[in-house]
Amino acid sequence: MGGDEAPGKIIDGVVEAVHAFKSQGLSHTLIVTGVKTQIQDHLRRCHSESLLGDSIEIVHTDEVIGMHESPTSALTKKPRSSMHVGMELVKKGEADGFVSMGNTGAVMAVALVGLGRIEGVARPTIGAFFPTLTGKTLVLDVGTNVDCKPLHLLQFGLMGSIYMHAIMNIEDPRVGLLSIGEEASKGDDLTVKSHDLFKQKALFDFIGNVEGRDILKGAADIVVCDGFVGNVVLKFGESIYHFLKSRIKETAHKSTKNALIMGIAKPALRNVFRELDYQEYGGVPLLGVNGVVIIGHGSSSPKALSRAIMVAKEMAEKRINEVIRQRIQSSKE
C-alpha cells in the first residue's frame, strides 16, 4: 500500500515480477499486504485474478501508513498497517524478504523495532546507487544516521562490501571514505579517526579517502560517509537528472535548428538519462537489520518494483545477513 500511486503501480510491479519468475522457470509466491478489495479490484481490471493462489497471496490489513507520516506515528498509531504485517511475516519466517516503495523513515523504524539489528551491528544503514563511468557506486549512509562514530562507518563499509560482492558480483569491492582531500589528515575529526580505524582493522579493500568528484568517476565501489553528508550528496545527485532534462528542453525550444539537433541526439540522450534514473536500480537494501528489507522510491515504476523484488530474492538466497553476522563477529574477535 506504499508509494505515490499505490496500490495500482505496486500490483503492476508484482505481476511483472511474477511473469519474470515464470520466464525463468521459477514458482515463487509474492505476498501482498494491504486492503484486499483494492488489490483484487486492480487485478481484475488490469491483469487476471487467476494469478491469486500460487503466484500472489493477499494478506488483508485495514491500516495504511501514509507517505508523509512521521516514523514515530507509524510505529505507535498503526500497529496493523500493511508495513507492520509484512515485517511480521519476515520475522516469523513466513516470508523471506520485505519490499516497500512507501514511507522510507517508517520502513526503517518498523524494521528496526520489528526485526531488530543483526547481532554485533551498532547501527543499520541505507545507501543509494550512483551511476559512474565504470558502472555504479553504492554510497552509505544517505540519511539513516546523521551522527556517527568511526565504528559505525567501519561497519557500513564492511556491510556494503559484502553486499556488492554478493549482489553485484564484484570480487573485491573497493571502499573509499568520503572526505575533502585524499590525504589521511584531511577532513573533520570523524573522518580522520575513521580513516585510522579502517587502516587498522583491514576488513575490506580500503583505498583511502575519496572526494565528491570521485563518486561519478567510479573511483570506489562503495563510498562511506555519515548520513548528514550522504543525504546532501544524494539530494544533489537526484537534482542533476531533472536539471539536465529541463536545460535540454529549453535549448530545443530556442530554435528549429536546436530542435532538429536534439531530435537526432534523442536516442543517445535517452541512454544517458536512463543511467541517471533511480528507477533503473529498483531499490536499496536496509543493511544491518535482522531480515531482508529493500526500500524503493515512492514514485517507482512497476519495473523498478519488479527489480527490487529480484534483489530481495537474491539477498535471501545468498544469505547475506548471515555473512554480515559472521564477518561482524570475526572483526570483533
More confident call, 214 vs 262: 214
> Three-state SS for 129?
strand
Q: What secondary structure does DSSP assign to 63-80, as a single string?
A: B---TT--HHHHHHH-TT
Cell for 7? 496500490
* Dist CA 177 CA 154 (whole Å): 10
* Dist CA 47 CA 60 (whole Å): 19
Q: What is the pLDDT of residues 110-132, one digit of tens each?
A: 999 999 999 999 999 999 999 89
pLDDT of residue 278: 61
Q: What is the pLDDT of residues 34-46, one digit of tens each?
A: 999 999 999 989 9
Using pLDDT thresholds of 50, 70 and 90, give the confidence band for residue 308.
Answer: very high
Question: Could you state, in order of their start, the residue ranges of all structural domains in the chain?
Answer: 1-121+288-333, 122-282
More confident call, 181 vs 278: 181
Residue 327 neighbours by CB under 8 Å, 6+ apart: 158, 162, 203
pLDDT of residue 269: 81
The overall pTM is greater than 0.85: yes
Residue 14 neighbours by CB under 8 Å, 6+ apart: 30, 32, 56, 305, 306, 309
Q: What is the mean pLDDT of the chain?
A: 92
pLDDT above 80: residue 326: yes
Write down the H helix ranges in 139-226. Answer: 150-167, 189-201, 212-217
> Three-state SS for 98?
strand
State the fold for domain 122-282.
Isopropylmalate Dehydrogenase (3.40.718)
Amino acid identity, residue 171? E
Q: What is the pLDDT of residues 163-211, one digit of tens each?
A: 999 999 999 999 999 999 999 999 999 999 999 999 999 999 999 999 9
* Cα–Cα nearest to 75, from 286, 83, 86, 125: 83
The distance in angstroms from the start CA to the end CA of the chain is 43
* Dist CA 95 CA 12 (whole Å): 20
Residue 321 neighbours by CB under 8 Å, 6+ apart: 118, 290, 291, 292, 315
pLDDT above 70: residue 271: yes
pLDDT of residue 162: 96
* Cα–Cα nearest to 87, from 123, 62, 59: 59
Q: What is the pLDDT of residues 128-161, one digit of tens each?
A: 999 899 889 999 999 889 999 999 999 999 999 9
pLDDT of residue 267: 84
State the fold for domain 1-121+288-333.
Isopropylmalate Dehydrogenase (3.40.718)
Share of the chain above pLDDT 90, in %: 71
Q: Provide the greatest CA pair distance for the chain.
A: 68
Cell for 252? 530545443
pLDDT above 70: residue 4: yes
> Three-state SS for 293?
strand
Q: What is the pLDDT of residues 79-99, one digit of tens each?
A: 999 999 999 999 999 999 999
pLDDT above 80: residue 65: yes
Listed in order, strand segments (DSSP E) in 156-295 are: 174-178, 205-210, 222-224, 284-287, 293-295
pLDDT of residue 280: 63
pLDDT above 70: residue 279: no
